[in-house]
Structure 1
Amino acid sequence: MLAAYAVTADADDPLEALRVDQIEPPAVPDGWIEVSVRAAALNHHDVFSLRGVGLPADRLPMILGCDAAGVTSDGREVVVYPVVGDPLFGGDDETYDPRRSLLSERYPGTLAEAVRAPARNVVAKPAELSFAEAACLPTAWLTAYRALFTSADLRPGDTVLVQGAGGGFATAAVSLARAAGLRVWVTSRTPERAERAVALGAHAGFASGERLPDRVDAVLDSVGAATWSHSINSLRPGGRLVTVGTTSGPDLPNAELTKIFFRPLRVIGSTMGTRAEFERLLRFLVATGVRPVIDRTLPLADAADGFAAMIDGDLFGKIVLEP
């Protein structure tokens, strides 16, 4: 079958680690289901994998991709929930499972003509969503949903700052927050991206690092080192910084510890979401009419072009691949 997969790791030039070619289909383990992929979406996680982050050499070659929507052998239209947990984990929150992984970390991923997933990870796709729209949801949109409503515990009328504008997570956070009745601000490195975020639903856009008119109830930060100090300084006393990623790197020039304990602030790590939250996200989109922003749709054979756009930051929303 055709697939996009990592054959090595290249921290400096991740495209050199990528192959798009025919590969032997993996076996379907007991209790798993094969899904014929109709659409899959790219994430920064895939770029990190090509750089060798979280994907050791002994697991290569590895089919990339966490997100997909497709059809099962019995004709059901489904979305794949990508968090694969330890069967022995007894908790209700999969994100607390220390042995959890995502598809494409220990098990072949979704950037292929077919993907295999545990039966509990195959969730019915709402008829109101296209395959391309549904494929955008499992990673970036689920991460944004949990960050807003579980980790930050925001309520209608609260103010949230989304650091960065244009990526899959940021566009998801803006769309979900506005639909939930929050006041939404964004930062961006370019006025054009800020304007597009406002057109999408943000109430105001600001330059990266710009002082805000007021301090906010919560900040969602997927950028990391480059925005950390601004995130801390933007919070009201008792505010929450929800950190979900480090696309600019994890090493902080200043952790702002004095401000964190003196004001006092809460710093909350948030990653992905539970299967129950994923089902609530699907219902939220059906009820509100909110839909993912799709930057472009490409054939799976042209996956390298999609990866190049993501690496260069040349996108607004999600990049979708169709086998």
Structure 2
Amino acid sequence: MFAITASGIDPEDPLAGLAASDRPEPTVPDGWTTVTVRAASLNQHDLWSLRGVGLRSEQLPMVLGCDAAGVDEDGNAVIVHSVIPGSETVGQDETLDPKRSLLSEVYDGTFAERVAVPRRNLVPKPEGLSFEEAACLPTAWLTAYRMLFELAQAQPGAPVLVQGAGGGVASALIQLGGAAGYRVYATSREEHKRARALELGAYQVLESGERLPERVDVVFDSVGQATWAHSLRSLRQGGRIVTCGATSGDAPSAELRRVFFLQLSIVGCTMGRREQLENLAWMCTRAGIRPEIDRVLPLSEASAGFAAMERGELMGKVVFTV
């Protein structure tokens, strides 16, 4: 079967290890099944894999990709939840399993004609979502959903800040937050991304680092080093940062004096639970929310999507169709 793989690791030139090739059909352990992939979406995780973060050279070649929507062996339209438990987690939060992994870290990922996954990782795809839209949900949108509705602990109508408006998680936060009634401020270095953030439902947009008109209850930060100081300074007393990434590197200073004096909270988020993915899919359908898709490419042209992500020119998600 045709697949997009990591064939090499290069922290400085990640695209050098990207390959398109024929791969064996997936093996299916007990309790697993195969999904025929109709659409899969690109995440920063895939670029980090090519840089060697979470992926070792002895594991290569590895089929890349975390997110997919497709058809299971019984002909059902499904969305793939990409968190693979390393131990029995029934009734527990699989994202807290210390042995968990994402597809493409231990097991081959979704950038292929077929992918093997645990049966319990399949979520029904609502009829109102296309395969391309559904494929955007399992990583970036699920992370945003959990950040906003579980970890933020802010009332609808409250002011919140989304740093880095162009990314997949950020655009999801703007859309979901706006639909839920939050007063969403968003930042970006680029004018066209600020303009698009307004169209997606932001209350007000600002240049990166610009002082906000008011202090906010919650800051959602997936950027890290480049935005961390601004995130801390944008919070009211007792506010919190919910962080899910550090695409620009780790924060240069924790600024502990500010944290304890203003009684700030810092909460981390990695993905979300299977039932949250199912709830998210239905929320999008019922509320008429659709993921922001920057471009749709055939899987055979995946390298163009990777290159656009590395250049930072995206507004929303890149989706590959199979």
TM-score, with structure 1 as normaliser? 0.98
Give 1:86 deviation, angstroms: 2.2
**C-alpha distance in 2, partners of 1:97/1:27?**
24
Is the partner of 1:246 in helix, strand or coil?
Answer: coil
Paired position in structure 1 for 2:280: 281
Q: Is the 8 A contact 1:217 1:235 kept in 2?
A: yes
Counterpart Cα distance in 1 of 2:25 and 2:303: 21
The 5 Å alignment of 1:223-238 reads 223-238=223-238
1:98-142: CA deviation from partner (whole Å, max 9, x where unpaired): 111100000000000111100000111000000000000000000
1:196-215 equivalence runs, <5 A = 196-215=196-215
Residue in 2 aligned with 1:47?
47
Residues 91, 97 of structure 1: 8 Å contact kept: no
Q: What are the within-5 Å matches in structure 2 for residues 43-192 of structure 1? A: 43-89=43-89, 92-192=92-192
Q: How many percent identity over aligned positions?
A: 57
Query: Which piece of structure 1 moves more, 85-94 or 187-196?
Result: 85-94
* Greater CA drift, 189-198 or 299-308: 189-198
User: Aligned partner of 2:276: which letter?
Assistant: E
Structure 1 unaligned blocks of 5 or more: none
Structural RMSD (CA): 1.0
Gaps of 5+ in 2: none
**2:219–2:241 CA contact under 8 A, matched in 1:** yes
CA deviation string 1:47-103 (max 9, x = no partner) = 000000010112111000000000112210000000001233466211111111100
**Alignment-derived partner of residue 270 in structure 1:** 269
Corresponding letter in the other structure for 2:292: V
Question: Secondary structure, in 3 states, of the residue corresponding to 1:217?
Answer: strand
Q: Deviations over 1:202-252 (max 9, x none)?
A: 0110111111110001000000011000000000000010010010011x3
Aligned to 1:311: 310
Contact 1:158 1:217 in 2 (8 A): yes
Task: Provide the secondary structure at the position in 2 that maps to 1:307.
Answer: helix
Q: Which 4+ residue blocks in structure 1 deviate beyond 2 angstroms?
A: 86-91
- C-alpha contact (below 8 Å) 2:87/2:97 kept by paired residues: no
Aligned counterpart, 1:195? 195
Letter of the 1:257 partner, please give it.
L
User: For 1:281 and 1:154, how far apart are their aligned partners in 2?
Assistant: 18
TM-score by length of 2: 0.98
* Greater Cα offset, 127-136 or 189-198: 189-198
